[in-house]
Structure 1
């Protein structure tokens, strides 16, 4: 924790970006429990719930080729202001949805809203390697991964309480208020970096980026490795577990919220413990640890209190896996391609998240138990450990710092 506080104290731009990120990402996920609760109240089935979960990831997949180019052409402050305005408008519009006949509007608003949120994330992550390097960059990525993970899970946890106490509409209004604060913070930020807008044609810049990635295989292997963390996209799994296993002992919204709160505990504590320990040689063991944590959750998923414990274990490993693989990618990418490579990396990562959400819904509808689904997700991390071992044998990975 001390090294994070020291870095934030010495880097005022990182400090402001971290505050913006905390509020923006918290706001992006705060409405989720309200959305899932609304779906359950309207009688939506597992397929619909899984589709909505997938729609939270899909926008980042389809917009990445264009957003990557935009990142290397337009100043980040202008982008963040525009994206925040979009998030405010979409969040307020969610209040109008009150029946199944309006699902088409819900789908559209989720796509636009999460597209803006995904783009906002990519803007900030492409800024970090422009202002930091080495161990400072790794620590900054860990800070941002803690913030992202904490916002992702704790946002839904607190939303569960808010929805339970005051209802869906109030949750949406509070969420819009958070984005108004973000808009003020972004409007007053000063980003002093060397910035030279790339004036090439969009198509030429896309082609240039794909050529760069193709000619540097270690880059795309690291992108694939990072994308494996997308198999921790458990939104649909948590919602279905709360609906089928825990609804007899606790309200669905509270069940979703508490499970995510438990995972948030692990997500925050993990990098504080593992940040100094992790290096290239130990990364494979961390993938195996995630596989073991998911196997534990698979065994306990039908028990609410057991699931809380397992969720902490899963979260404990996830943040460090995310931040270290992200830093490895940044460390092996040329600065001229930060925006585009980060955008394409997020495209793959979010694509995996969307696929996992849909897969969970499909398997659940097909009769596969939620425990078995969780075990399947865990097996992916065991395979990833073997894949990383192959990458290390084939390529000379640079140590961070």
Structure 2
């Protein structure tokens, strides 16, 4: 953890962006427990729970083909401020959702909220290589992924306690307030990064990106490798676990909060232990370790307390897997294409997460046990590890330290 603190000490711009990132990403996921608690209280089926989970990721998929080109053409600060405003409005409007008749509005608000969050995330990830020395980019990505993962799970964890104590609507309003704070922190930040000057139109830039991917196959391979991390989209699975196994022993919102809290612990401490040990070849072992962690979770799932412990193990490898595969992609593409390639990379990652969420609901409705569903997800990480081994053998991949 000391190396991350040193990085923040010597990079004031990154320090402010990281603070804004922590608040905005935390806010992006803070509403989730309130949403899932609302759905469980409405007694909707597993297919709706999984559809809502899928929608959180699908929103980013839909906007990704356009966002990359826009990121390269627009001034980053103005774009990021606009996206935060969209999140404020969508989050505040969630207080009006209360019955089955409002489900369509819920879907729309989630779509706007998460599309904006994904767009913001892609903008910042394409910004980091432009403002940081390449030597510190890996540590910055690790820090970024820790914050993202920590916000992702802890946002839902804290939300669980807030929903339990204050109620669903108060959670939505507090969430909107977080985005307002992030807006003012970003508004007062001096961030002078000029957009790429090009005469290409939006469609031409998109076509040029596909040509670049075609002539640089390692970029596509690394995007696919990163997409395997989307198998960690456990939101729908956790909600179904709570409803099936734990609702009789603990309040729904508290169970959701505790499970996400446990995974947050693993997400934060994982890179601290694994970050210095990694290189390109050793990433294979992280894939396999992630699979074993998921298998363990499936085995102990029905016991709430053992499930909490397994959640820590599952989270332990996730952040490192995410950050290292992301840095590999950044290291192996041309600067001109940062925004667009990162956007398409996020599209594949979010597509994987959306598909995972959908399949959890589909298989649950098809009478697959939650343990079998979790085991299938673990097998996916084994496949990801084998695929990455193939990429290493067939492509010339630069080491992060080079």
Same fold, TM-score > 0.5, yes or no: yes
How far apart, in 1, do the equivalents of 2:199 and 2:160 lie? Answer: 46
Question: Residue 65 of structure 1: CA displacement?
Answer: 0.9
Partner of 2:393: 393
Task: Give the corresponding residue for 1:164.
Answer: 164
Aligned residue in 2 for 1:209? 209
Write out per-residue CA displacement over residues 228-252 of structure 1, whole angstroms, 9 at most, x where no aligned residue.
0000000000000000001111011
**Structure 2 residue aligned with 1:310:** 310
Task: Give the structure 1 partner of residue 246 of structure 2.
Answer: 246
Q: Deviations over 1:16-38 (max 9, x none)?
A: 11111100010000000000011
Task: Determine the C-alpha separation between the residues in 1 that align with 2:296 and 2:163.
Answer: 30
Q: Does 1:258 align with 2:264?
A: no
Question: Bigger CA drift: 66-75 or 125-134?
Answer: 125-134
Q: Could you list the structure 1 runs, at least 4 aligned residues long, displaced by more than 4 angstroms after superposition.
A: none
3-state DSSP of counterpart to 1:43: coil
Question: Which digits, 9 at most, give the CA deviation of each residue in 1:203-245, with x for residues without a partner?
Answer: 1000001110111000000000000000000000000000000
In the alignment, what sits opposite 2:339? Answer: 339
Q: Identify the residue that residue 233 of structure 1 maps to in structure 2.
A: 233
- Contact 2:287-2:381 within 8 A present in 1 as well: yes
Partner residue in 1 for 2:319: 319
The answer to whether the Cα contact below 8 Å between 2:68 and 2:339 also exists between their aligned partners in 1 is: yes
Alignment of 1:69-148 (within 5 A): 69-148=69-148
Matched with 2:376 is: 376
Deviation at 1:189, TM superposition (A): 1.1
Q: Contact 2:75 / 2:193 at 8 angstroms: preserved in 1?
A: no
**DSSP 3-state at the match of 1:57:** helix
The DSSP-based 3-state class of the residue aligned with 2:156 is: helix
Partner of 1:67: 67
Equivalent-residue separation in structure 1 for 2:132 and 2:379 (angstroms): 35
Tell me by how many angstroms 1:385 deviates.
Answer: 1.1
Deviation sequence 1:163-196 (CA, Å, 0-9, x none)? 0001001000100100000110111111133543
3-state DSSP of counterpart to 1:44: coil
Cα distance in 2, alignment partners of residues 341 and 188 from structure 1: 29
Q: Which runs of 5+ in 1 are unaligned?
A: none
CA distance in 2, matches of 1:386, 1:179: 40
Q: Deviation string for 1:236-280 (max 9, x for gaps)?
A: 000000000011110111111100000000000000000000111
Preserved CA contact (<8 Å) 2:75 2:194: no
| CA drift at 1:302 | 1.0
C-alpha distance in structure 1 between counterparts of 2:252 and 2:245, whole Å: 10
Superposed displacement of residue 383, structure 1:
1.0
Paired residues of 2:74 and 2:195 also in contact (CA < 8 A): no
How many residues matched? 401
Q: Which residue of 2 aligns with 1:152?
A: 152
Corresponding residue for residue 359 of structure 1: 359
Q: CA deviation at 1:128?
A: 0.7
Retained in 2: the 8 A contact 1:297–1:310? yes
Q: Deviations over 1:92-132 (max 9, x none)?
A: 10001111001000000000110000000001000011122
The alpha carbon displacement at 1:134 in A equals: 3.6
For residues 133 and 220 of structure 1, what CA distance do their matches in structure 2 show?
25
- Residue 326 of structure 1 and its aligned partner are, at CA, apart by 0.1
CA distance in 2, matches of 1:197, 1:357: 39
Q: Work out the CA distance in 2 between the residues paired with 1:134 and 1:339.
A: 16
Matches of 1:88 and 1:198, distance apart in 2: 32
Distance 1:199 1:22 in 2: 35
Partner of 2:297: 297
Q: How far apart, in 2, do the equivalents of 1:293 and 1:250 lie?
A: 25
| Contact 2:76/2:193 (8 A) holds in 1 | no
- Cα distance in 1 for partners of 2:242, 2:199 equals 51
Q: Structure 2 stretches of 5 or more lacking a match?
A: none
C-alpha distance in 2 between matches for 1:335 and 1:387: 26
The 1-side partners of 2:136 and 2:183 are apart by: 27
How far did 1:349 drift? 0.4
CA deviation digits over 1:31-60, x for unaligned, max 9?
000000111111111000000000000111
1:192 correspondence with 2:192: yes
Shift of 1:62: 1.0
